[in-house]
C-alpha cells in the first residue's frame, strides 16, 4: 500500500500543472504605476540638479543616472502595458494607447534632454495612467 501511495504521489507531481486564470501573468495585486512614477520623479530631480550645477563631472554622472532611471520608467510602463492592461480596458479607456505612446515617447526624450518640461510631461502621463489603472482595479 505504501508503494502504491508513493506512486500516486509521484504521478501527481509529474502530471500537468493546474492552470490559474488571470488577465495578467500573475493574479492582480503585483502591478502598480507608482514604480514608474518614482523613477520618473528621479529623472526630473536629476534634470533639475544637473541644471543647477557647474560641476562638469557631476553633470556627466547625472546624465548616466538619468538615462538609467528613464530606462526603468520605460520598463515599468512596458510591464503595465503588456502584462496588466487588456483589450477590455482599451475599450473602456480608448485613450490608453495614445497615453502610453506619449509616456514612452517622453521617456525616450528624457534620455536625450535636460528639459524639465519633458520630465513633467512624463509625470503627467504617468499620473493619468495611474488614475485609469486604479479605476480598473475598482471596476
Position of cell 557631476?
58
**DSSP state, residue 58:** H
**Number of domain units in the chain:** 1
Grid cell for residue 73: 520608467
Asked if the model's pLDDT at residue 22 lies above 70, the reply is no
**DSSP state, residue 33:** T
Mean pLDDT for the stretch of residues 117-137: 96
Residue 43 in any domain: the answer is: yes
pTM metric for this prediction: 0.78
Q: What gap in Å lies between CA 53 and CA 114, rounded to an integer?
A: 12
Q: Domain limits at 79?
A: 28-138
Asked if the model's pLDDT at residue 43 lies above 80, the reply is yes
Q: What gap in Å lies between CA 74 and CA 30, rounded to an integer?
A: 17
CATH number at residue 124: 1.20.120.400
Residue 32 in any domain: the answer is: yes
8 compared with 97, residue with greater pLDDT:
97
Q: How many CB atoms lie within 10 A of CB 104?
A: 17
Residue 19 in any domain: the answer is: no
Residue 5 in any domain: the answer is: no
Asked if the model's pLDDT at residue 80 lies above 90, the reply is yes
User: What is the reported pLDDT for 131?
Assistant: 97
Percent of the chain exceeding pLDDT 70 equals 78
Average per-residue pLDDT for the chain: 87
Residue 16 in any domain: the answer is: no
H or E element at residue 18: none
- Cβ contact 107:77 at 8 Å: yes
Residue 4 in any domain: the answer is: no
The band of 4, judged by pLDDT with boundaries at 50, 70 and 90, is low
Residue 20 in any domain: the answer is: no
Mean pLDDT for the stretch of residues 76-81: 95
* Greatest pairwise CA separation for the chain in angstroms: 80
Amino acid at each position: 500500500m505504501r508503494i502504491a501511495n508513493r506512486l500516486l504521489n509521484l504521478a501527481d507531481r509529474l502530471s500537468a500543472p493546474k492552470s490559474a486564470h488571470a488577465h495578467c501573468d500573475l493574479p492582480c495585486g503585483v502591478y502598480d504605476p507608482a514604480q514608474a512614477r518614482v523613477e520618473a520623479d528621479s529623472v526630473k530631480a536629476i534634470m533639475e540638479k544637473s541644471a543647477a550645477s557647474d560641476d562638469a563631472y557631476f553633470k556627466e554622472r547625472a546624465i548616466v543616472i538619468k538615462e538609467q532611471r528613464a530606462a526603468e520608467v520605460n520598463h515599468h510602463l512596458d510591464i503595465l502595458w503588456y502584462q496588466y492592461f487588456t483589450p477590455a480596458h482599451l475599450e473602456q479607456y480608448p485613450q490608453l494607447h495614445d497615453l502610453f505612446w506619449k509616456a514612452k515617447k517622453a521617456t525616450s526624450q528624457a534620455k536625450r534632454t535636460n528639459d524639465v518640461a519633458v520630465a513633467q510631461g512624463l509625470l503627467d502621463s504617468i499620473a493619468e495612467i495611474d488614475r485609469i489603472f486604479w479605476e480598473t482595479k475598482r471596476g
